[in-house]
Copies of this chain bind each other. A is one copy, B any other.
Amino acid sequence: MVKDIVIGMSDGLTVPFALAAGLTGAISQTDIIITAGLAEIAAGSIAMGLGGYLAGKTEVEHYDAELKREYYEVDVFPEKEKQEVRDVFEEYGLSKSSTEAIVEELSKDKDKWVEFMMRFELGLEKPDINQARKSALSIGISYIVGGIIPLLSYFFADTAQQGLFYSCIVTGLCLFVFGYFKSKVIGQPPLYGAIRITIIGALAAGTAFFVARLIG
């Protein structure tokens, strides 16, 4: 949940901010900048939210397909599957006799055996579709919230330049505070994370500004 909000917010703060900043380099009508920003928020939140949900669904389908395949292989090629268990443990220097004991015991319970292969051979954890749904919603909403912040300054500013000026301050501050807590939550050095995410935002906005100025 925290991870999803972090993903949505950081992209929402970055891309609409950079787009608005970029447009300020080319045009002076704040209403067009705000319209473009809101259109980007609509597009981005759907692409990220719905895209994330469907990616989650794909993951569930992939897991189920692999699970079916493992059950099939355990049934039809049990010797090959036993060899795969041996391969997993040989990597860790286990003796032949211990490995054989594990293979014998695992192969007695088909469900446990397949569960073992899914996790240790294929490295797949059972995905949760409800989780994917909640995750998509969190990412989409966080993107909208994050994206509105950089646009607010343009609502209240007299000129686009003024809007950009306040937007840089407000968004820069938000990125910094947000990067700080994000890093804290995931157990990283917080100051380092704060600087990192602020630099991404600044680089994206700066590049968009110069691209727009060159063309517009």
Contacts and interface: CB of A to CB of B under 8 A. Distances in A.
Interface of A: 10-11, 14-15, 18-19, 22-23, 25-27, 31-32, 34-36, 38-44, 46-47, 50-51, 54, 58, 61-62, 65, 89, 92-95, 97-98, 101-102, 105-106, 109, 112, 115-116, 120, 123, 125, 186-188, 193, 196, 200, 203-205, 207-209, 211-212, 215-216
Contacts of A116: 92
A196 B208 CA distance: 30
Given A43-B204, A65-B187, A208-B39, A215 B34 contact: yes
A209 B46 CA distance: 13
Contacts of A54: 196, 200
A144 to B, nearest CB: 11
B123 A109 contact: no
A46 B216 contact: no
Contact of A43 (B19, B47, B123): B19
Nearest 6 Cβ contacts at the A-B interface: A22-B39, A18-B43, A35-B216, A39-B208, A46-B204, A98-B101
17 contacts: A10-B51, A14-B43, A15-B47, A18-B39, A18-B47, A19-B19, A19-B43, A22-B36, A35-B216, A36-B36, A39-B208, A43-B208, A46-B207, A51-B200, A61-B188, A93-B109, A101-B101
Nearest to A20: B39
A142 to B, nearest CB: 15
B204 A42 contact: yes
Contacts of A15: 15, 40, 43-44, 47
A200 B105 CA distance: 47
Contacts of A39: 18-19, 22-23, 25-26, 208-209, 211-212
